[in-house]
Structure 1
Amino acid sequence: MPDLRPMLATRGDHVPTGVEWLHEVKWDGMRVLAHLDGAGGLRLESRAGNVVTAAYPELAGLVDATAGRAAVLDGEVVAMVDGRPSFSVLAERIHERKPARAAALAAARPVTFVAFDLLALDGREVVERPLERRRRRLEGVLEVGGEGDHWLVPPTYADGPGLLDATREQGLEGIVSKRRGTAYRPGLRSRDWLKFPHRRRDSYVIGGWRPETGGRERIGAVLVGVPTPAGLLYRGRVGSGIGGRVGPGLQAALEPLARSTSPFADEVPRIDAAGTHWVEPTLVVDVEALGINGDPAASGARLRQPAYRGLRSDVTPDDLLPDDALPGAGA
């Protein structure tokens, strides 16, 4: 099967209109490529290229749903709660690889694979074909609607501004607008796909962690930054959302990454640096905030009222580099 990487969307300024655009719901989940080898094998790969098949045993039925054909499907793994995707529920499953535990979680909190593109079929890439043709082939290849299905092909819409309003009212993450006649550009970020999220949730890299107040060596906050060509720029301290069972797991992931010096390229304020355990900047987390004070691209900008939303094993720090620092930027 071809070696492919997901195409990435660029954050848009305004929702485009016109017949050359189609619009989809933006799903609050984990980007996954489903590789079906045509001989009964299924491999699920995250955006970072990690194999995550064991985490989602309920998706094994994709083999039968595609009639055993060799194919590569692009989509999002989501966990539905009351009819809406919940990334916090999905986060409990992302890192699970033990078969028994994964099966128990699949029974209790099943996921859905939302397939929105077809990249290869019967061993041949179809990425150069226009988006509309790929979507039609996808709808013909993936059988949906059966009892107990854990996959679907979502509808597309012609009215982007209307869909944006509807998803806001329904509490969904947002929309993605795509040019109908364009090819799929594996691994590249393009303005042929524009994303419009309602909530300001972004990914950041952890550069250190601070213990809880009171002298306990239990994690109370993380220090996060944004990668740039000049290095990791500090964006603030995030403590909200790390309590309960989240903290110990995050701390266990950070402790092996300990280092003696700050990984940030700019100066961390003394009040934040005091007592911080510095770590190698390799772990990516999602953070929600009310915005950023200052120029988002400059040193000194800070997140406003940030809250931790989960560890992203499917994203690497390189994935967070600015659009103009990525291959194919502006394509």
Structure 2
Amino acid sequence: MCDGYGPGSTVVVQTRRGALVQDRWPDLVAAAEAQLPHGLVLDGELVVWDTEADRLSFEAQRRAATRARGAAGLIARWPAYFVAFDVLQLDGQGLLTRPYAERRALLENLFSEHALTAPWTLYPQTTDLSKAWEWLESWTDVSGVEGILIKSMSQRYLPGCRGWTKIRRRYTTETIVGAITGTLTRPQLLVLGRHDQDGRLRAVGRTVPLRPDAAREVAEHLTAAAPGHLWEGVRFSATWGSRDVLDTTLVRPGLVAEVSADRAIDRGGVYRHPLRFQRLRLDVTTEDVPRLGQGPAAAAG
């Protein structure tokens, strides 16, 4: 998202697709009017803090979908913060052709000169590989922090293009196979779940499409679901937050799948991004799988 502050004390909050959403972020707009100079355009990301759970939250999507009338009621629970990645215009002067190293220096100077604090956050940056590795290992233990970005210091800003590389920290964990797409003999992807504290199987994500060898391995152990499967009538989103649904076949929830996941998990324990199937864990039972919202998992076998 971009946060621009220009002539006439007009604050514009624009998504990467060009939608204007400043009416949904009145707290950020007020802070911009009070603290940011005229003629400024920042590139960054809006995040929200869950004050009840005391953690970063993916409820930014909920706030972004709330119209002006309801936005004010969400501020206390999910206050907005802006993490600045880049500066694209300063004092009305465009900076897109300047190298990133120069834009970064101007961004740091902006924060220093105006003594910017919350809700403004300067994205940390380093050219030290050991420090970057330390950040990847330690900071991703914070919920909502997925990994690190790599940019060239000599790179100009390329509107509409991804001129950087994201490295996500991943870990392996166990989940229960509750449904598939495709057929029992040729599964395409797996819909995965975990038991909640009451023993009910809850969907937590899906895999990317299975490789042919993995599909054959899984097919050997699949059994059609018996009547009374807890997911009967449930519709599964094709992607996190999407209205598109998967065409699924329910299976007996007795198989444990080891998957590779990143750190993007919402408060309900649902993975935002598709999981990567690693193998079946035929050496453990569904009772060995972590409960909904718990961490990594059954001991390696």
Query: Structure 2-normalised TM-score?
Result: 0.55
Aligned mates of 1:129, 1:186 — CA distance in 2: 13
Superposed CA RMSD: 4.7
Residue deviations 1:224-249, cap 9 Å, x none?
A: 9xxxxxxxxx644356699xxxxxxx
Cα distance change, pair 38–222 in 1 and its aligned pair in 2 (3 A): farther
Cα distance change, pair 78–276 in 1 and its aligned pair in 2 (3 A): closer
Counterpart of 2:87 (choices 102, 110, 118) is: 118
Aligned mates of 1:241, 1:55 — CA distance in 2: 35
Hey, what does 1:108 align to over in structure 2? 77
Hey, what does 2:168 align to over in structure 1? 197
Query: Structure 1-normalised TM-score?
Result: 0.50
Amino acid at match of 1:127: L
- How far off is 1:187 after superposition? 0.9
Structure with bigger RCO (C-alpha 8 Å, 6+ apart): 1
Query: Percentage identity across aligned positions?
Result: 24
Residue deviations 1:197-251, cap 9 Å, x none?
A: 1147xxxxxxxxxxxxxxxxxxxx9989xxxxxxxxx644356699xxxxxxxxx
- Asked whether 1:49 is paired with 2:18, we answer yes
Amino acid at match of 2:166: K
Residue deviations 1:77-112, cap 9 Å, x none?
A: 12245898623343442322233x322322333121
Structure 1 runs not aligned, ≥5 long: 1-31, 201-220, 225-233, 243-263, 295-304, 309-331
- Asked whether 1:178 is paired with 2:151, we answer yes
- How far off is 1:153 after superposition? 1.8
Hey, what does 2:105 align to over in structure 1? 136
Whether contact under 8 Å (1:112, 1:152) holds in the other structure is: yes
Counterpart of 1:237 (choices 169, 174, 191) is: 191
- How far off is 1:48 after superposition? 2.4
Aligned mates of 1:78, 1:158 — CA distance in 2: 25
Cα distance change, pair 73–94 in 1 and its aligned pair in 2 (3 A): same
Cα distance change, pair 160–239 in 1 and its aligned pair in 2 (3 A): same
Aligned mates of 1:131, 1:163 — CA distance in 2: 18
Counterpart of 1:153 (choices 122, 127, 130) is: 122
Aligned mates of 2:125, 2:26 — CA distance in 1: 28
Whether contact under 8 Å (2:101, 2:153) holds in the other structure is: yes
Structural mapping, 1:66-105, within 5 Å: 66-67=36-37, 69-80=38-49, 86-99=56-69, 101-105=70-74
Structure 2 runs not aligned, ≥5 long: 172-177, 182-187, 197-208, 210-221, 226-231, 244-263, 265-270, 279-289, 294-301
Amino acid at match of 2:58: S
Aligned mates of 1:145, 1:235 — CA distance in 2: 50
Amino acid at match of 2:191: R
| Larger Rg belongs to | 2
Amino acid at match of 1:169: S
Cα distance change, pair 222–187 in 1 and its aligned pair in 2 (3 A): farther
Amino acid at match of 2:137: R
